[in-house]
Amino acid sequence: MVINIIFFWILVVFGIIVSLYNWIIVFDCVIKSKNSSCIPLLGGGAIVLAMNLPGIDMEEYESIPLLLDYGCIPLFVHTFFSFIYKMLKELFK
């Protein structure tokens, strides 16, 4: 049980660091116009994995990290709408 708690916190801290790094990359791209890419699914996935460890009962909250990390659901939604915008832009050229 103690090993699961230690592993839980290691995964949570790692996931938070990667999630913050993804948001820093997004703000750098918007503010400084730098081209960088996020690390998809790593930060939110690490936190979801931590929530599903044996002895940790947080399964009902496992979608929250996927929504808060830009490399997960927000990145895929942004990519989808960017693709649609590009297709419509070429269509009405």
For 38-83, write each residue's pLDDT tens digit: 889 999 999 999 999 998 888 899 899 999 999 999 999 999 999 9
Sorted by sequence, the CB contacts under 8 Å of residue 3 that are 6+ apart come out as none
User: How buried is residue 86: exposed, middle or buried, by Cβ count under 10 Å (0-12/13-18/19+)?
Assistant: exposed
Predicted local distance difference test score (pLDDT) of residue 40: 92
Rounded to two decimals, the pTM is: 0.86
Judge whether residue 14 has pLDDT over 90: yes
Instruction: Give the chain's mean pLDDT.
Output: 92
Picking from 18-22, 41-45, 84-88, 89-93, which range would have the lowest pLDDT averaged per residue? Answer: 89-93
Cα radius of gyration rounded to whole Å, the chain: 17
